[in-house]
Every structure is written in C-alpha cells, then in structure tokens.
Amino acid sequence: MAMPQWLGGGHGTGVLGREDGLSGSSFLFGLGGGGGGGGGVRQKSAPEKQADVLEYLKDMPDRRPVSAADILVATGVDLEGADAEVKEMLSANPKVDIMEDGRYMYQAKYIASGRAALLSLIERCLSGVNRAELVDTYEGAARDMEDMIRGGEVIAIKHKEHGTVLLYPRGATFLTRLSGAVRIGPGERVATTSAPLAAELRRGEAVRIGDRWARVSCEVSTAPLDRQPARAAVPESVATDRDLSDRNVYAQPFGPEDLTLPLQTAPLPYAAAAAAGPGAPSGVYQGPAVRHGCSQRVRALWHETLQQVPKDDDAALHQMLFQAGLVTSAATGQQRRPKRFAQLTPEQRESQRSKQKRRIAVVKNAKLTNDHLDGTAIGILMEEARLNPEKYGL
C-alpha cells in the first residue's frame, strides 16, 4: 500500500508517532522531541497547510472532489478537527469549490478539458490571457502551451518588467517553404539539408519538419536545456528580426555554408507511411521544411530598399510601383494626394469654408412638449419662436 504523502516527507506536517504502538488511530501531528529522535518536527503554519491541500486537490485526476478524510490521509491536515482554521481559509479561497456534501474540489480560473479546448479558449481572448492563469486548467496544460508557442499556434509576448507571458490568438498563418530539402531520423536533433538555411532562418525561430514544429538550436554549451544561460533562451516569438546575443558561442554550427539544421528538440518519430521518403528507412523524414513569415533573405531585401521609398508619401510610392509595372494607372489615379489648404486658390478656399459651415436643422410644425410651461412667459416666447423662426434667426 502506498505511503501517505505526509509520512514520506511530501505534503502536510511531519509525524512523530502514534499514541499507541499497535492499532491506535489517533496521530500526533507536528510535535517535537520524543520518539527516540534527536530533534523535533517543525509545526507548519495554517497557510503552509492550505498550500499542501491546494497542491493535493490540483493533482487529483480529472479534478475529482475529495472528502476531508481523504485530505487527512493524504496531507495530514485535519479540516474537521485541529485544523479548523485551514478549513476557513479554504472556504474563502476562490480556487477551492466546497460541494454541498462537504467534499473539496480544485477550481481553476479558466475551464478547459484538453488541448483543443485550451486553444479555443485562447482564441476567444482577443486581448490576451496570462499563461500562468492557464497552467492549472488541467493536467498537462503547461506542456500543451509550450507546444503551441513552439509551433506558433498562439502568439506569446513576454512582459519586460513583470516577466509574465501573455498569449494571443494567432489568426491566419503565413508560411514559407525553405530552400532545398531536409532529412532527419527518429530521435535526432540535427537534420541534414540539401541547401544552406542560415540565410533563411535565425537561431530560435520555429521550423516545421513534416507535421512537427521545432526551434533552431540556441544551445551555447553541452549542458542540459534547462541549465542554459538566459542569453541562450529560445525567444517566445516564432520569428525574430534580430540575432541573439553576440556573446553566444553555440554548441552546434549553423553558418552560411553549413548543410545542417540543429534543433532544440527532436521532432521525430513519425509514422513511416506518412513521413518516409522514397527509399528512406522507416520513420526517417525527407522533404521540405516550412517557417512562419518570409525568409530572412526577403526581410533583409525589404530593409535595404526601405530607405529608397519616400516616407509618408503614398502617392510617390504608388507612382514608383506604377513605373515598375506592379499596379495599373487607374490605381495610381486613386492614390492622388489631396492638396493642402495653403495650396488652394481663394475660390477653392471659400468653397471649402462654406462646406464646413455648421448647418442648423429647423424643425417646422414641431409640437411643444413642455406642457408645464403653457401660459408662462417662457412658454409664450417658445411658441412665438416656433411660429416665427425668421424673427429669432432660427
């Protein structure tokens, strides 16, 4: 039989021993000294006990409700006895739902039953949602969100000051096929390529191989991925406009002449029938790779020619496009810039002023609705103004 967590150093307080040595059922929680031990067990505070109960409720499969007796066995927190203060704290905690029969259940801020439901939830939050508030929606939600961010199914933006990550819906995707073809086997993290890809991809950007997404390797040493320095962290965005830190000396080569594509994680295995190319071993992918957005080569070309385009002058830009044969003459005429007021003739200025004059709508035969003013001086004046608007300039 599995040992309760509070006996094995998990949730809850420490246990010194039983009141009897045989079949007694009364436990001594959090007492110090005695029992032949050299030191006492520190008594946990009420907030610490509440944290233990919350962790236990969060770990329950399918977030099923549990009784106070179950909590006592699992954590050593006696909600119906000595730990009544913890029970009051749980009652006021928005993350705990106490049912009519007295059972306790963890209540997340958002409700999602799986990956598809979580993605649908994020897509409905057009103003973004904090990733930390979605971690406890279901078991494995954190892993699924990392997968969504890695592949660009959602947009992740990290707050520079607070460090929080906000998730936004991606919407329509714009994908670009990379040059040549890649080949990679199950469990491998370095793909061979038929053409250099460093001019089309940056380190940390997302790349799709077959039907799986991965990130170009940012590792700066042979240390595990969870021990990499901050400057080697994979960016949240699937596409970047600048390289990572200049101080980085990467563990895997990825230069202009290299015919390899190092990855942070292994994208395989695949089903042999779906991924294996002609004559390739079972489970080996051989085919094109895809990225989000245009390639770095196209981005660089855009930035180089951007200085040649007149700024804040759509008409001049449209004229250049027309000269290059990219738009029609009709479209050029539609983009004519309006003349400024100072460039107008006196007649044109006067015509424009007359159009801008405030127009006062005169409602004729309007019925006086202020019945309480009938017979008063104000009422008589209003009735006269209604019948003779010219007299009062209306």
Of 26-35, 249-258, 332-341, the range with the lowest mean pLDDT is: 26-35
Using alpha carbons, select from 316, 309, 307, 306 the residue that is nearest to residue 337: 316
Confidence of residue 341 (pLDDT cuts 50, 70, 90): low
pLDDT at 22: 34
Does 31 have pLDDT greater than 50?
no
Cα–Cα distances in Å, from 297 out to 113, 184, 216?
A: 42, 24, 17
Check residues 261 and 357 and name the one with the higher pLDDT: 261
pLDDT at 116: 92
Using alpha carbons, select from 167, 122, 148, 177 the residue that is nearest to residue 293: 177
288 and 183 in contact (C-beta within 8 Å)? Answer: no
pLDDT at 216: 92
CB under 8 A, 24+ apart: contacts of 361-368: 362/389, 362/394, 364/389
* Cα 217 to chain centroid, rounded: 22
- Average pLDDT rounded to a whole number, residues 249-264: 90
Confidence of residue 215 (pLDDT cuts 50, 70, 90): very high
CATH for 15-106, options being 1.20.1290, 1.10.10, 2.30.29, 1.20.1740: 1.10.10
Distance CA 52, CA 289 (A): 46
Sign of the torsion angle spanned by Cα atoms 82, 86, 91, 97: negative
Residue 338 tokens, joined: 């309006």
- Average pLDDT rounded to a whole number, residues 319-344: 65
